[in-house]
Every structure is written in structure tokens, then in C-alpha cells.
Amino acid sequence: MSENAQIDDDLFDQIHEAMLVRVKDKFPNVRIQAVLAMARLQDPQDGDCPTVNAYLLLLENDSNPEVRRAVLSCIAPSAKTLPKILGRTRDVKENVRKLAYQVLAEKVHIRALSIAQRVQLLQQGLNDRSGAVKEVVQKKLLQAWLRLLEGNVLDLLHRLDVENCPEVAMAALNATFALSPLNELAQNCSNIDNRKLIPLDNLSCENSLYWRALCEYVKSKGDEGEEVLEQILPEAAIYAEYLYGYLKSIPVMTEEQKADFAQVENVMTKEFISQQLILLVGCLDTAEEGGRKRVLAVLQEMLVLPNTPASLVSLLIEKLVTVLRDDDKRIQMVAEIISEVREPIVSVTDPIDENVSRKRQIKLAEVKVKLIETKQMLEDCIAVQDFGQASELKDKITEFESLKNQLMKEAEEPEMKEVRMEKNDPDTLLKCLTMCSELLKQMSTDKGIGPTMNGIMESLILPGIANAHPSVRNMAVECLGLCTLQNKELAKRHLVLLLQIAQLDDAKIRISALKAVLDQLLLNGMETLTSNTSQSPLSDSYTEKGDSNQQQEGKEAKEPAEEENTVNNILSLLSGFLDSEIPELRTEAAEGLAKLMFCGRLVSSKLLSRLVLLWYNPVTEDDTHLRHCLGVFFPLFAYASRSNQECFEESFLPTMHTLFNAPGSSPLAEVDVANVAELFMDLTRPSGLINQSKKTDDYKELTVHDSLAIRICNEILNDPAAPDVRIYARCLSTLELATGESVCNKDLLVLLDEVCTEVKDKVCLRALEKLISQLKGESKDNGTKDVNTTINQGPAENGEENVENDDDQLKSTKKRTKRGQKSASTATRTTRSRTTRRKTVEVSDESDGEIIEAVPETVTRSTRRAKAAAMEKTKMNLTDLISREADQSS
């Protein structure tokens, strides 16, 4: 029908009522057609329009992505529907997000969005994991906004919050630059004058950020952009003078001016512009000696000036050490700057000694007497007309007059003397510590702590830790942590101090101290925790099967008991941060421990269990950084090696016991245990291993799933009537087990038969019988086939799939946390009164037929001899330690 077509009111009502019913149909295709049919029946101006309400309901709750896409294509943007459309830019499906951005580009004016909404759209769209979504934001949304603003990029930046979100503005500019050739970008840069500079009076937040973004983008193009960069950026010496002139124009506010919001805003704007101009130093060509020296002189002078804003200090020192290439020169120059800032030259009054003052007065009296006598003699010579003698006397009188005036002036004005005076105010200390921190960040870890840095540490860093001002203490802790990375002995000396700070100080300072400790462990290994540097790492003394290693360590170490207690206490402290009430501290501890495990510094199934529980814990639901960090860590760690999967295998049953026995008041009672079990089954898949080899001797040995199946069967036999047996039975059905006449299968079939005789639950029996029939059926059907053929073919295909679909494994594992809440699962758990508190899983009848069958293939077990030998000295197993913690707490 045409746009101006008309229909009868009765027919309209009948169609409308019928479509409102069909949008709730159980078939997605029917719902899609109903959505399309109602597109012309909606009234965006009516706040209670049934069609709009139906659209919004589908947009938020429909499980089919094609239905959501159909609604997005039909719904009319309005004040009511716009927030829901914006919400679809965060949809789980790529196609839905892509269409949402297209709708916003085509139907929504930029003025209809708030600044926060614009920034959020660009931030999410330009950082989306899907390349197709990024392309839509770059080529459609940004270009649509520019068309509405008549192509004025500075006007677009003005409509974004460039001062608070410069990263988003930079990403948007880079996306825009990528669509234009370099020569055209240089021609469009109309803000610069003949000197290739923006006049100081015309500088603003937008054009300074645009200038910096354009220069950095052109410089990133390498040789291709050198010629263009010369057209938009002057020589280093000219730019240094330009930068110096603007930085000196930043006013120093008094206490009264700080109360005036307009003046504060003006100074903040100038500081932002200054930051962009300082960052532009990185684009300058400092190969020429004269220009480099002038840039260094300007940066050094601005750092010494007392009125330089604190927000510019880190950028200035960063660019200073970047221009200097040699570490020794960096240390020397920064040490000189710190000395000038900390101990400036000031003029002070020299106290006058009483004896000196008395002598001066006596000398002045003598001069006055001689002056009187000389004047009298002059009068006598004039009287006798002895003009030659009179001329000599007149010269003496002049000398006595000047001497008298000099003595009188010295008596009136005190003597001034220039001396160096040490400043210990918080602003000065923070400025010096910031410069020291930036220097240490740029230094090579092989440089070590020389005499100059050691002097700075003794006179500035260590006293700063005891300072009363929190910001000074925090920066001093950061500097101390950076210093300990340069020297192992220094790290051991100050480790206890950092651990004490991590427990007792303010939250921000505790986090900085914890970061410093974790960085030491990552860089130097567990030997940082021992007093003897020549001793090998302590992994042998903490493995569960290391009795012989413990005996060997007892012979080699002088004081093994004391070292063991020290290590236990420190690691108990680090693992205890996982239960901290401070989210940032808890997140930092979890991330650091995950890094230690991923790098092979720690090996602990109990610690891994705690990280999994922390990931699923509803308390951390709002901690997106923690969830994202652990969500990336688990699959990468599990699929890296067979030994890592064995660590997950060891942690499976303790994790399940913790969840089953969680009291009703615990947040863990809300976790979907079936989803947690599914995660463990997925992470221990033998087919998920990366770089698995068929040529090793242990290829035909048990896989992780084979040994895990035996563990689960034994767990079921411990209490066959337990309500959690259903979850274990489902886990067995999802394992990748080998098929054929193998010793493993025979043992597993014996266990499964015994389990079937003990278990009475029909759902569990059905799943177990399917698994048994699968294992037996494969062996009968393939009785004449060579079992090795199956063993050799399966992993090859899986290996290819793993290489191609590694990203998919990551994505699928990350999604599990969204399905991990009890409310999102069809299975519910109820508490029953037993000696040990467990949860009963109520599964509907429809789920009986949904038992996933095991994949009939076997996979390799990669050799671990070389890896075990390489990691022997750097691994530590926390199993004994955390078991000890659990016993003490219970």
C-alpha cells in the first residue's frame, strides 16, 4: 500500500488486535511478520500506544535476535523509544548491534542525544569486538553526524566531552582520518598559520586536540607521512618557544580566585590545552642537535618553575626522558631537576654580629671626625690662599663623604646571602616523587640502582612513605615498588614494608603496595619471599606429591622451617585479599594471582577454585573489570597445557562441594551449579588443548576427561542418593571420552555399572545408560577396526578446529557468567535437612531428552617432561597452604 493509503477504522482495529496477538506467537517467523505488519500502525506521539509498547517488550525480552532486528527496523524513534534503541547497541548479537547503530545514524539527529549518550555510543562502537560494528560506526554513524554539522569536525568535537573523555574523541578522529588521504587532511587543517602554529589567542580544547590527533595519525604512517607532517608541524626549536610561551601564561590562582568557578574553569581549560601541546612534543623531529637541546631546556625550565600545574608534571617529565635516550643522562638530568625543586636557591638575611656592628660604628665615627678635620684644614688653606693644598684636601673630603655614605648604608640595610633551602611541603614532595616515578617507568630493569638513584631513594622516597599526606605516601609507595624491580636485594629488604602498607593504610595506598608486591613476584619469582637468593624456588616444597623434594630441600636449606612459615604467611595474606570488602583491592589481588598462575609462578587447584567461585559470586556482578579479567584468564590458562587442565580437574570437586554446601544466607547459594559444572567440563576438554602433539609417548594415555570421569563416578558412589547426583550424571554425559577396547574404558564401564546399581534416580539412570550404551556400542560396531585409527584421526581434526576457533572458545566461556545466575536457569535448588547441606535440582520432564551425548573421540596427552623441567624452579603449589587455611577457619 502507498504512503497515503487509507483503510476503514474497523479493519484497522481488527488488524491491530490480530497483530498484537501474533507478536506473542511461539514461532519467531510469525512474530517477525507481525512486527513488520504493525510498522504503520504505531503512533510515536501517543505515550500509551499499544504497538510501541509491544515493540519495546519484544526489543528487551525476545530471545530471537531476528525478532529484535525486525523491531529495530520498524520502531519509530521518540523520547520513549530512544533509550531502548540505545540499549540494543549493547546486544549480545553482532547483527543486532550493527542494525542499532544504523538506525541511530539514519533516524536520530545528533541533537536528540545527550553528550553522555554520544560519548557512550562512540566508546562502545569504536571498541566493539566485531569489525562489522566498528565499520558501521566509522562509515555511517560518524559520517551522518558530520553531514548534520556540515562537515565541521571541530563542531563535532565541541558536542563531545573532549576534556573529560579525550580518548573517545581521539578514537573518533582517527576513525574519521582513516577515510581521507593524508594530503587532503593536511589541506583541511586550516587552523595553523604560516609558522605552522595555531595562534595562542585562537587555541581551544577542540582545535588543540584535533592538531595533536592529526599529527599523531600522520606520524603513525611512517615514511609516507613525513612530508605531510612537515606541513602541519614546525621545527623543534620553534615549537619549543611556542610551548614555553603558552605554559608561562597559565596563571597562579590565589585562595580567593579558587572560589570563583569561572576562573577555575578557565585555568582547567588552559591546563587541558597545555597537555595537548606537551603531547605534541612526541611528534617533533628531535634528531637535530640544536632543536633537541632547546626542547630539553624548555621542558627542564618548566619543571623547575614553582607555578607549573601538578597535572602537567608527569607529561613534562615523560617527554623529557623520551627525548633523552641514555639512562645515565636521564637519571642525571632528573636528579638535577629534583634538586632544584626540592632545594631552590633563596636569598636570606645574614644576621649581624654585635662586634661587627660596633666596629662599623667606630669606623663611621672616625670617618666623621676626619671629615670635620679635613674641612677645617680646607678653610685654613683657603684663608692663606694655599690653593694647591686646598685642592688635595677637597679630594680627601670627597673620599671621606663616599666612605661615610657607604658605612651608613651598610648599617641600614642587612646583608643578603643566597642559600639552598629544603622544601618539605606536600606539593613539592608530590612533584618530586612524580618525576622520580616517571623516570623509573622509563628505565630499563637491567640498569639497577646506582648511587644517584640510591640517594634519591634515601632522601625522598623512604621519608615520603612516612609522610602524613595520603597522596605523597601513595606516590612514594609507587616509587619504592618501581625501585624494587631494579634490584632483587632491595626487593627482599622492603617486601615486609610493602606488605604492611597493603594491610594498614588507605585503600588507594594499599592497592599500590599490593601492585608492587605482585610485580616483584611476577618478575623475580617466589625466591623474592626467601632470604637466601641462591636457593631454588619453593615449588618443590609445596607440591602435594613432593615428599622426596621436601627431604632434599631440608638438606640444602639452612632454616627451612622459618622460610616455610614466612612464605606461608605472605601467600596467605595475598590470597586473603580475595575476600576483601574493597572491590578495587579484591580485583587487583585476583588479577595478580591469575597472572602468577598463568606465568607458571604458582600452581594451586584450591586457589583456582577460589577464583572460579569469585567469578560466579553475585557480589562481583558489578565489578566488570574483575569479571572480564577472569573470563579471559580461564580459557587461556586451561587450553595452554595439559597440566593446567589437570589443575582444573583437581579443583572441580572442591568447587562443587563449596556450592552444594553453601548456606542459604551466602551469595553462593544463588549460583547455578549446573552452569559451573558445564564450565569445568568445557575448560578440561582434551580437544581444546593448543599445540597438542601426536608423536609423544604419552599420547595414548588417559585424557583429563577420562580421569575426571573416574573422579565423578567415585563421588557419586560416596552418596548415590544425594540430590546433586543429577548434575554429576549430566557432567558424565558431556565428557569427551575415548571409545574402543581400552583399559580406561573397561575400568570406567565397571564403575558406571556399579553406579547404575546404586543410583535410584530415573533421570540419572537414563543418562548413565546412554553413556554406557555409547561406550559399548562403539566398541561392538568397530570391532574389526583399528582403535589407533580413531585415536589418530580425532585429534587432528580437533587441532585444526582449535586453531581456527580459539576466539570462539574465549567468547563461549565468557558468556557462561551471564547464564550462571540461578534465576536464569530452568533448574532450581531447594535445601534439604541433611548432615551436610546440599541443593536439590528439580529438572522438568522436557529436560530428560536433552542429555548431551559424549563426543566419541579421543585426544592426545601432550608430553610435560620438558615443561616440568623448565618450570621446576619457578612454580609453587598452594594446595597445602590453602588446605591449612580451610582447616584453621573451620
379-412 pLDDT tens trace: 878 887 777 787 888 888 888 888 888 877 776 6
Per mean pLDDT, which range of 40-49, 687-696, 730-739 is the poorest? 687-696
Q: Quote the pLDDT of residue 719.
A: 83
Cα separation, 764 vs 847, in Å, equals 12
pLDDT band at 93 (very low <50, low <70, confident <90, very high): very high
More confident residue, 151 or 415: 151
Q: Quote the pLDDT of residue 709.
A: 85
Of the candidates 36, 99, 33, 41, the residue with the CA atom closest to the CA atom of residue 65:
99
Q: Quote the pLDDT of residue 828.
A: 35
Q: What is the SS3 assignment for 291?
A: helix
pLDDT band at 415 (very low <50, low <70, confident <90, very high): low
Q: What is the mean pLDDT of residues 4-23?
A: 77
pLDDT band at 514 (very low <50, low <70, confident <90, very high): very high
Q: Quote the pLDDT of residue 158.
A: 92
Q: Quote the pLDDT of residue 155.
A: 92
Render pLDDT for 263-282 as a digit per residue (tens, 0 to 9): 888 889 999 999 999 999 98
Q: Quote the pLDDT of residue 195.
A: 86
Distance of CA 195 to the CA centre of its chain: 40
Alpha helices in 190-235 (DSSP H): 205-220, 223-232
Per mean pLDDT, which range of 12-21, 651-660, 841-850 is the poorest? 841-850
pLDDT band at 119 (very low <50, low <70, confident <90, very high): very high
More confident residue, 837 or 688: 688
Residues 204, 169 contacting (CB under 8 angstroms): no
pLDDT band at 715 (very low <50, low <70, confident <90, very high): confident
The one-letter code for the residue type at 278 is I
Highest mean pLDDT, choosing among 346-355, 441-450, 849-858: 441-450
pLDDT cut 90: percent of the chain above it: 28
Residues 683, 676 contacting (CB under 8 angstroms): no
Does residue 781 have a pLDDT over 60? no
pLDDT band at 254 (very low <50, low <70, confident <90, very high): confident
- Write the DSSP symbol of residue 353: P
Burial (CB count <10 Å: 0-12, 13-18, 19+), residue 663: exposed
Does residue 851 have a pLDDT over 80? no
Average pLDDT, the chain: 78
Q: Quote the pLDDT of residue 840.
A: 33
Does residue 794 have a pLDDT over 50? no
Per mean pLDDT, which range of 17-31, 226-240, 360-374 is the poorest? 360-374
Does residue 835 have a pLDDT over 80? no
Does residue 559 have a pLDDT over 70? no
Rg of the chain taking only CA atoms, in angstroms: 39
Q: Quote the pLDDT of residue 241.
A: 92
Q: Quote the pLDDT of residue 697.
A: 44
Residues 729, 767 contacting (CB under 8 angstroms): yes
Q: What is the mean pLDDT of residues 584-594?
A: 91
Q: What is the SS3 assignment for 821?
A: strand
Residues 104, 73 contacting (CB under 8 angstroms): no
Alpha-carbon distance values, 639 to 552, 598, 681, 806 (Å)? 33, 11, 12, 9
Cα separation, 344 vs 341, in Å, equals 6
Render pLDDT for 466-485 as a digit per residue (tens, 0 to 9): 889 999 999 999 999 999 88
Q: Quote the pLDDT of residue 126.
A: 93
Cα separation, 835 vs 25, in Å, equals 47
Q: What is the SS3 assignment for 348?
A: strand
Highest mean pLDDT, choosing among 137-146, 184-193, 435-444, 869-878: 137-146
pLDDT band at 347 (very low <50, low <70, confident <90, very high): low
pLDDT band at 812 (very low <50, low <70, confident <90, very high): very low
Per mean pLDDT, which range of 2-6, 203-207, 485-489, 594-598 is the poorest? 2-6
Q: Quote the pLDDT of residue 542.
A: 34
Q: Quote the pLDDT of residue 414.
A: 62
- Write the DSSP symbol of residue 458: I
Does residue 346 have a pLDDT over 80? no
Does residue 233 have a pLDDT over 80? yes
Q: Quote the pLDDT of residue 753.
A: 82
Q: Quote the pLDDT of residue 549.
A: 46
Render pLDDT for 623-634 as a digit per residue (tens, 0 to 9): 889 999 999 999
Does residue 825 have a pLDDT over 60? no
Q: Quote the pLDDT of residue 739.
A: 65
pLDDT band at 536 (very low <50, low <70, confident <90, very high): very low
Per mean pLDDT, which range of 55-59, 309-313, 581-585, 722-726 is the poorest? 722-726
Alpha helices in 259-353 (DSSP H): 261-279, 289-304, 310-323, 327-342
Does residue 251 have a pLDDT over 80? yes
Render pLDDT for 721-776 as a digit per residue (tens, 0 to 9): 888 888 888 888 888 876 666 667 777 788 888 888 887 878 888 878 887 877 77
Q: Quote the pLDDT of residue 25.
A: 87
Cα separation, 53 vs 37, in Å, equals 15
Q: Which grid cell sits at 234?
A: 614546525
Can you give the pTM of this predicted structure?
0.71
More confident residue, 559 or 851: 559
Cα separation, 773 vs 776, in Å, equals 5
Does residue 175 have a pLDDT over 90? yes
| Residue 200 CB partners (closer than 8 Å, separation 6+) | 242, 245, 246, 249
Does residue 182 have a pLDDT over 60? yes
